[in-house]
Amino acid sequence: MNLYLATKNQGKVREINSLFTGTGIVFSSAAVIMGKVVEDGDTYHKNAFAKAMAVYEKMPDPVVAEDSGLEVDALEGAPGVYSARFAAQSDDDNATDEENINELLDFMQDVPKEMRTAKYVSVFCLIMGGTTMFFDGEVTGSIIDTPRGTSGFGYDPVFIPNGYDKTFAELGDDVKNKISHRAMAARKLRDYLLTIKSATNT
Ligand code: IMP
């Protein structure tokens, strides 16, 4: 079964493809088809839908998009849907991972350890045969004050998932792909696609 994946984020492409390894479900990057998408929705659902629809309206084949973010309790849920552009100079730009981490740590410099709780949220949007469906997942943890590790992307060097004492960037892809927000949401999407796949023999 082949689907388009509407994202330009190479970290996500890598993670999502490895989450579907061995399922017979293959994603082709639709980065070129989707063009520029303004992600100005105030929910992950709206932004994931906008990305998937940007591809579907040009090429009406099954397409998946994902929107995600980091929600920090001490910052009342920020950066949330603005995670990719937290440190950006304008609404049109994304910032680098390093700039975003520095911005986050600046905002949190006076937040004590026990109040540094946070969660990652992931929402997949599937558009298939004119029907839209969403699949979500989250992972809770906390934000440390100095980046550690080199794996993953985004805020991974400062996020420690609950039950661990290492950041996602130290734990590496094998652990992250079992417990992450994206893994949770992808598992729901995978289960749904596998039922369709066996019903249609694709
Ligand atoms: P978007 O979904 O492309 O709008 O971007 C989501 C942003 O949230 C990323 O650019 C990261 O800054 C952050 N983010 C989402 N998921 C992760 C993750 O698994 N690790 C680290 N950062 C993430």
At residue 70, does pLDDT exceed 80?
yes
Residues above pLDDT 90, as percent of the chain: 80
Residues above pLDDT 70, as percent of the chain: 99
Marked catalytic residue, from 40, 61, 67, 156: 67
Report pLDDT for 202: 67
> Do residues 167 and 159 touch, judged by C-beta distance below 8 A?
yes
Q: Is 156 a catalytic residue?
A: no
How far, in Å, from the CA of 156 to the mean position of ligand 1?
A: 9
Exposed, middle or buried by CB within 10 Å (0-12, 13-18, 19+), for 160? buried
How far apart, in whole angstroms, are the C-alpha atoms of residue 191 and residue 197? 10
Query: Residue 39 — pLDDT band, cuts 50, 70, 90?
Result: confident
Q: Is the CB of 39 under 6 A from ligand 1?
A: yes
- Other C-beta atoms within 10 Å of 150: how many? 10
Radius of gyration in angstroms for the set of CA atoms belonging to the chain, rounded to a whole number = 17
How far, in Å, from the CA of 68 to the mean position of ligand 1?
A: 5
Rounded to an integer, the average pLDDT of 50-68 is 96
Report pLDDT for 20: 92
Q: Is the CB of 9 under 6 A from ligand 1?
A: yes
5-9, 99-103, 157-161, 184-188: segment of lowest average pLDDT: 5-9
At residue 155, does pLDDT exceed 80?
yes
- Other C-beta atoms within 10 Å of 2: how many? 11
Q: What is 2-201's CATH number?
A: 3.90.950.10
Q: Is the CB of 44 under 6 A from ligand 1?
A: no
Q: Is the pTM of this model over 0.85?
A: yes
